[in-house]
Amino acid sequence: AAASKALTAARVDATNLDAIIVALGNGDVTSPATACYVQEKLGAFGAVAFDIRAACAGFTVALDLAKDMVESGAKERVLVIGADLASRTKIDWRDRTTPAIFADGAGAADVGVSPSPERGFLSARLRADGRGKDVVVMPGGGSVAPFTAETLARGDQFVQMDGKGVWEWATRELPAVIRAAVAAAGLSMADVDLLVTHQASLRLLQVVMAELGLGDDKVHTTIERFGNTLSASLPITLDEAIERGKVKPGSVVVLAAIGAGMTWGAHVLRW
């Protein structure tokens, strides 16, 4: 549904897509890629379709892949989707912490050649640090700990999160990568019209905004209404900001996210 909405907004027929990238946690099945299921439903049979797994930063990483595909000339139109069904695949309902945070959702964007050289992606910065691999983790189901009666009983199939660790990584790395991306675009934070981030925590976002010197008028949030929809939260929030008139032609928009791995990044666009 999110993909169809994005294609309609872009006035693009699914048959004209060159690639479909789905950023997710758990797909429809373990194999093949969920992107193949999406391709079939859209009728985009000419497009290469594959998934990526970069947790809550998945949409940001997928967006960067799409940007590089288009900029290189390898593809003309790439559909990027962030989707998660946390209620079915990640949440241990016996846990007092995670069920109150995570939610289900999907968001999508059609990435293509800019109609103007002055509009589109201005810069991007992506980072990862495997030393944070255990901050947010779903330990069961892989080759290290295949599913058994014991791993399932322990709840290894569900997300395990170090809340303090997430806070420390996010409040340190998100402001730094946003500043780096803005500087790479030849801009300053004063030039930014809107910051849209992964919706991890409202308090966390407020700390990041304060660190960057951005007021409430320079950010749009949805977590207070939708919760943390993981890889879907950034495109969902961007879509709502556009619908509410916060993004206009010429606006400088920063998209940023951080997720398990730890993996994080930021893009700067002129709308």
CA dist 138 and 26 (Å) reads 11
**DSSP H or E stretch at residue 6:** helix 2-10
CA dist 43 and 2 (Å) reads 15
Two tokens, residue 254: 């920063």
CA dist 76 and 83 (Å) reads 23
Tell me what percent of the chain is helix, strand and coil, each rounded to the nearest 5.
40, 25, 35
Q: Which residues are catalytic?
A: 56, 198, 228
The answer to whether 56 and 200 are in contact (CB under 8 A) is yes
DSSP code of residue 92: -
User: Rounded to whole angstroms, what are the CA distances from 242 to 62, 174, 181, 239, 253?
Assistant: 20, 23, 22, 5, 11
Three-state secondary-structure class, residue 164: helix
